[in-house]
């Protein structure tokens, strides 16, 4: 059996620096402007990347991890806006599936979010990875919700947009990378999942205040996940 090598993508430095700092036998590279660390973390072989914000950078990072580094699984980790009333700042979300809420070919008769070529609106995450993530979050005593994570190239800070994404897709959290990583993983046949901690309520204000705290929590959870895997 191929040794597991986990590719971990965080969009922002604050979401990856705690992982970089804890890595052992680390080697560093800059690829397409992205900081990449290869080494071991909590007993697992990992490649960690700070991708940058949004679906394009995230997709680039995912494809790079698969083709250049040969990762056998992908985890997207970081912060998100909470859409479920059951979520408050620093709670966790584990994705059962992901959707690109801004993918829109409805004028041609497709459902909103439909990914032409893939033939799906929602891409399911890998059950084993998602179950282990949930187990890690529960073990940390963090209130955690499993559900759909919606991604798009928009920082959601408007009540109407938030309501639309929640209503249309039943999403529990919104962010800007997870579903593009999901699409890349899906077409390459690589298992993936998404972990997000809540930095704001999808209505703006709190992001600057809570982002760092939420990001540190996502690092803690990611490390616990690796130790259980
Ligand atoms: N110029 C800022 C942009 C941050 S965008 C910067 O460089 O720091 C917000 C990031 O946090 C994205 O990576 C996204 O995945 C996540 N995020 C947190 N809350 C969000 C929200 N309410 N809507 C969309 N993305 C959110």
Tell me if the pTM is above 0.85.
yes
Q: By the 8 A CB rule, do 130 and 225 touch?
A: no
Q: By the 8 A CB rule, do 140 and 131 touch?
A: no
- Rounded to the nearest angstrom, the distance between the alpha carbon of 174 and the centre of ligand 1 is 9
Mutate to test the pocket of ligand 1, among 10, 52, 53, 90 (most ligand atoms within 8 A of CB): 53
Domain that holds residue 76: 5-228
End-to-end CA distance of the chain: 16
Helices (H), the chain: 13-22, 55-67, 127-139, 159-169, 178-188, 207-228
Q: What is the pLDDT of residues 1-46, one digit of tens each?
A: 568 999 999 999 999 999 999 999 999 999 999 999 999 999 999 9
pLDDT of amino acid 3? 83
Domain count, the chain: 1
Rounded mean pLDDT, 48-58: 98
Give the integer Cα–Cα distance in Å for 42 and 35.
Answer: 20
Q: What is the CATH number of the domain that holds 172?
A: 3.40.50.1580
- Binned at pLDDT 50, 70 and 90, residue 203 comes out as confident
- The CB of 87 under 6 Å from ligand 1? The reply is no
Q: Is the pLDDT of residue 56 over 60?
A: yes
Query: Would you list the DSSP string of 38-89?
Result: EEEETTEEEEEEE--SSHHHHHHHHHHHHHTT--SEEEEEEEEEE-STT--T
């Amino acid at each position: 059996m191929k040794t597991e090598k986990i590719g971990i993508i965080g969009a922002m430095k604050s979401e990856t620096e705690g992982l970089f700092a804890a890595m052992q036998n680390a080697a560093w590279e800059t690829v397409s402007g992205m900081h990449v660390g290869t080494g071991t973390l909590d007993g697992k072989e990992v490649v960690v990347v700070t991708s940058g914000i949004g679906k394009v950078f995230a997709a680039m990072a995912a494809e790079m991890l698969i083709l250049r580094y040969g990762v056998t699984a992908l985890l997207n980790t970081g912060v998100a806006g909470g859409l479920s009333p059951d979520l408050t700042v620093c709670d966790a979300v584990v994705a059962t599936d992901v959707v690109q809420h801004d993918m829109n070919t409805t004028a041609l008769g497709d459902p909103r979010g439909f990914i032409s070529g893939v033939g799906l609106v929602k891409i399911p995450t890998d059950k084993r990875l998602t179950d282990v993530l949930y187990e890690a979050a529960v073990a940390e005593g963090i209130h955690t919700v499993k559900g759909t994570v919606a991604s798009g190239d928009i920082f959601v800070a408007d009540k109407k947009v938030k309501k639309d994404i929640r209503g249309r897709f039943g999403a529990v959290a919104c962010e800007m990378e997870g579903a593009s990583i999901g699409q890349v993983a899906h077409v390459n046949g690589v298992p993936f999942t998404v972990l997000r901690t809540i930095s704001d309520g999808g209505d703006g204000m709190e992001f600057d205040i809570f982002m760092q705290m939420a990001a540190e929590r996502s690092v803690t959870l990611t490390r616990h996940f690796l130790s259980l895997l």
